[in-house]
Structure 1
């Protein structure tokens, strides 16, 4: 497994890219260097992180047991990725590829995955990624929502064509996500997985600016080491533009986006990728930031 960092030059008349290739290592220090090192920030910008996954041996790396408190580097490379190249697909079967793809998505649902042989890929997939551009957050989350919707439709179609009785199908569906690449119970593999996963929150309504600002600030401060990536589009009460943000650990960047259209439903969408995140607590505190819907008071008559 390898991580490739793509950087584009800000000064060149024609766009130029610098590719930094690592082995099996934590990508975070490189990412943060290009955020914080002033001598670099003025000349280049981080375009994206591309992780190359060996489909034949990926499970071996992902299942590697680490000491308590140490995150598996292979899992970290998946968590930080903007693009994932699932390579050597000719060496494994379709069921194994599907199971591995699901596992990668469970870690990082924001990353786009492309299956390849011999590392052959269209350059458009790995160049101009804009993985760290706050302006690209809306399109990234929109694509993610579309992919999730498509997956749900596919799952629904599969349900409709099942010849099993309803009770049996529901039982299988509840446990299908716990099966590994060979179809066996995946609980053993969870022992190896240091709980790095994605959390998505989507709901309509407006947010109280002061509450959501405190919530995000506290969340980043309390979970800086364990919060790998985050992106979001928020609807703030009394503000007619979208608020969009993205971040890596404690590095946070936000800005006002385009105006909400009059006929548009104002929907909040957030994605977090992190380790040992208290998902229920995060969701609970987020929903506490919502402004209660205004109730219509009936007019007294007579």
Structure 2
């Protein structure tokens, strides 16, 4: 059964040329179907640029969701539309932002002679630091290409600069400059330093493997190309909301034990703060979406601590 709903611009300051004033929907029409239909009439613009909102001005993120299943849209018989600007795929953004630190750390090998007053060979601690950081981001690249399943297809192009700056500057240039210098703690060698390196490496290996396992759990909640959500359970998820973030923190703690650098501390503080916000956002989303089945957690990031 087909019906017509009103289409209203979300913003009068940024009108969408030739946007229709209404559109037809059926029981099987999805959010993405509406975007495609509206974009085709609006001069064949990229449908990914269109953001759809319900009567409460809440964006409809799930592109596979049925329009008629949204109570606020159905009751008002109206949908609001906004041009989100040029888009880029999430996969592309992740690949670029994770590639930055890999390239930057490798570039410090030929650039050291220009950046420091002297250029002695890298110590074993400096080589280990570089290897751990590069392995971490290579793992991220692999997961982006073969493990993660994205519910959203694209994000605004401007986000690539913000996201890349976090990794390229803080985990790339910031850490590399202080770790590979001739006077850094990693340039020295002693039995104490080597003991810290061993513990840090073991912690890093454990955390990276655990982080990968949690990413597999999250990936398996969604079918290929799907947008459905589920309640993650199992390894780590019974303790905190986002064990993947917790193991990420542990991995960088292992890196810190090897690099012994204030630059690594700075990155870890910024990263932990951001993951803490994401973890609480995830906790609130699970509570809202599965009020009867989800077991609320007070500890979203670090087991046994109310954070």
| TM-score normalised per structure 1 | 0.28
- Select the structure that is richer in strand: 1
Larger radius of gyration: 2
Higher helix share: 2
